[in-house]
Amino acid sequence: MNYKLATYSEYETIEFAQNLESEKFPNMVICLEGDLGSGKTVFAKGFAHALGIDEAITSPTFNIIKEYTSGELPLYHMDVYRLDGKVEDLGIEEYFTKGGVVIIEWADMISDYLPEERLDIKIKISEDEDKRVLVITPHGRQYEDLCEAVL
């Protein structure tokens, strides 16, 4: 089942991320997909802030993976855009079981490496450039329960 949500500002995207964070659990994986400027990093910032992370959250485009350990749970923020689907030697799968939350920007580029149970969020920019349509797809019972709780 897919869920749809519209946001009309960065604040509303952040608020949605904070609502999801309120239902967080260890080994949670959130996969973000969307064009440049669609709000993937804005979502990650909102989630990180709600986790209690005070560090500046930026897209890990050139780092691939940024680890933030100062919050309630560790946050592993990934941007796999520059990998061109080649992740074999990075150990990305190890992060899925480290007890934290994994947020992956451009996750569709590494679909073969994603865990079966996860939350997919596709962010689409509307013709009204302030509006975003989020298509949320839970994979697995825990993610379905999460969506029922916050959507």
The CATH number linked to 10 is 3.40.50.300
Is the model's pLDDT at 139 over the cut of 80? yes
Residue 30's pLDDT is: 98
- Alpha helices (H) along 22-151: 40-51, 92-95, 141-150
* pLDDT higher than 80, residue 61: no
In the prediction, which pLDDT does 83 show? 73
pLDDT at 137: 98
Kindly tell me if the per-residue pLDDT of 105 is higher than 80. yes
Q: Domain total for the chain?
A: 1
Tokens found for residue 121: 């969020």
pTM here? Answer: 0.95
pLDDT digits (tens, 9 = 90+) for 107-133: 999 998 999 999 999 999 988 878 999
- Confidence at residue 28, expressed as pLDDT on a 0 to 100 scale: 98
d(CA 151, CA 136): 10
Domain residue limits at 61: 3-150
- Give the pLDDT of residue 114: 94
Residue 86: band (very low, low, confident or very high) from pLDDT cuts 50, 70, 90: low
- Strand-pair partners of 138: 119
